[in-house]
Amino acid sequence: MKSLTHNSNDHLPKTGQYWRVVKTIVWKDLNIEIRQKTLVSALLIFSFMVTLIFTFALELDKSTRENVAIGVLWVTFVFSSTLGLNQTFAYEKDRGSLEGMLLSPIDYTAIFIGKFISTYIFVVIVEIIVIPMFYILYGIPLFSPVFLLIVLLGSFGYTLVGTLLATIAMRTRAREIMLPILLFPVSMPIVIAAVQCSNAIISGANWGQFSSAFNIVVVYDIIFLGVAIMTFDYLIQE
């Protein structure tokens, strides 16, 4: 009798087949969202609420508002992304389809990459809408290519770690509570570095003043991409 133990080296040897699995998972998630329109709508409403609450709560002069605007922006990004990450495996877990995916002769990392890409797409869509809204409310130019790059890189790392930890949280009864507890401490380095970079860019600092923080963001992304690929097989089976 063949062992049911998964061995990624025995399955899916062809790169083309691997990426077809990734594309299928991404397309499935996008199709579900296009039909139901629940996740992105919820993230946008949450982001608008957080932004408006901070806007009216901080009755500050113009210079002070400019100093806190980047912090408010990243708080919005982090909280809305966490809300989206809670739903990463919710559809498969609630409908019992995750077990079917795990029994399929595919490399489990293809599941991770597919779920990460689809979640990252949803997060970026929300950011594309929120950034112009911040420009309108705060009057701060947020369309610098370097600033947009750090937003994409910061969100990349945060979503990457969140997708990995969502595989742990989904096994618990209180996954909505467990994910933030696991995610926030691990993601603090990239969030702090991204905020520092963003503040420096908006204030017109030169490259040398925020290069260290920028490097932290890039290194964090690379390290946790490797960690996620190496550990996902183990985490998804636990």
Mind listing the pLDDT tens digit of every residue in the chain (238 residues)? 333 444 444 444 467 788 888 999 999 889 988 888 888 888 999 998 888 888 777 766 666 676 788 888 999 999 999 988 988 887 777 776 777 777 777 788 888 999 999 999 999 999 999 999 888 887 788 888 999 999 999 999 999 999 999 888 887 777 778 889 999 999 999 999 999 999 999 888 899 889 999 999 999 999 999 999 999 888 887 6
C-alpha–C-alpha distance, residues 205 and 153, integer Å: 19
DSSP run (H or E) holding 196:
helix 175-202
State the DSSP string of 105-121: SS-HHHHHHHHHHHHHH
List, in order, residues 6 or more apart from 114 with CB less than 8 Å away: 21, 22, 23, 24, 25, 26, 29
